[in-house]
Structure 1
């Protein structure tokens, strides 16, 4: 049986489960979900936080301003 058929069969079976089984399946799916942020280094996470803080404080350039700065290389 190919992957698509297995997925279809799984979906069919999901329609028959009760809430407690569904909750357990949801936990399994969440546990297997990788978040790209968790795989970043501490330095990368710090840089992202700096950017978020700057954006919150309106310390950024608009897209148009950035394009004007770099237009000399086009």
Structure 2
């Protein structure tokens, strides 16, 4: 079933919903899907993420395995 057909089927099912609590939950899901968590970060948080991305692109990374070896005495 393609996306358009799924949307149409969902709209048909939505029209049958009589419980307001279900509609409220669906509204919350739709609203949550519209907000990008990145937009809610502070500028300093966004900058730190960008620094990490830049480092990763330069190959300045440490593998998970190496980190686990280094800190295994505390794990």
TM-score, normalising length from structure 2? 0.58
Counterparts of 1:45 and 1:61 in 2: how far apart (Å)?
21
Unaligned runs of 5+ in 2: 1-8, 14-29
Q: Match of 2:71, SS?
A: helix
Paired residues, number: 51
TM-score, normalising length from structure 1? 0.59
Counterparts of 2:10 and 2:65 in 1: how far apart (Å)?
49
Q: CA RMSD in A?
A: 2.7
Unaligned runs of 5+ in 1: 1-8, 14-28
